[in-house]
Amino acid sequence: MLKGKTAIVTGGTRGIGFSIVKRYLENGANVAIAGSRQESVEKAMENLGEYQGRVMGIWPNLGSPEEVAEAFASVKEKFGSLDILANNAGISSRTSLYDYTLEEFQKIVDINLTAVFICSQAAARIMKDQGGGVIINTSSMVGEYGQPSGCGYPATKFAVNGLTKSLARELAKDHIRVNAVAPGVTRTDMVAALPKEMVERISAGIPLGRMGEPLDIANAYLYLASDLASYVTGITLRVDGAAMT
């Protein structure tokens, strides 16, 4: 589905991001894994040995427009194009409003929102010059419903939804599609560490009767990156088993 395309996946070293990387590689894409540390990127690449030659690693500071632009240019130089950007890097928090520090709130904003803007800008500049591309942002079900603590996380996901819609309208003339994926409760490392009874209680509240797997989310990213979604832009695709519906 992505043969001959090149993708960058931020937060691609583990969890949902690593599943996106694998699905893109399985479907013929070249992929650059972007992570926060060189060590974590290289470890992820070691687990993708069968795709040597079609995968590379980058670790720019996502808060630095200069570092991001340089890293993205290196991807285009290696593979010849930049067709897909998956803005998946993000951090969460459950801190109560009464205990939230400005520093903690700002850190959430920097990673979950500002980095999405910086990476989208760098990718769009390359994509415009080559005639088009696809940007996909990771939102969340709490970007629609909120959550009872850790207000910084849902606030940034609400903002990502708005950024997605706005960029979709602005960049359409340059043949750049912009969408978002909003995962529900997904079996990441953090969830896997929860007690079995807690996982069962969480799953019982989801109409489909189970929590999502990283592959469920990665499949949505695959669809939106592919030509099957060539007339789809400006949406936030919920992948949550009808949770909170």
- By annotation, the residues acting in catalysis are 153
Two tokens, residue 96: 């109560």
Q: Which of 173, 147, 166, 174 is nearest to 236 (CA)?
A: 166
The full length of the chain comes to 245
Give the separation between CA 186 and CA 46, rounded to whole angstroms.
Answer: 24
Per-residue CA distances from 137 to 13, 101, 168 (Å) = 16, 26, 11
Give, in order, the Cα–Cα distances in Å from 204 to each of 181, 183, 218, 222, 232: 23, 17, 23, 28, 32
Rounded (10°) CA dihedral 15, 177, 59, 62: -100
| Other residues' Cβ atoms within 10 Å of the Cβ of residue 166 | 12
Burial class (CB in 10 A: 0-12, 13-18, 19+), 149: middle
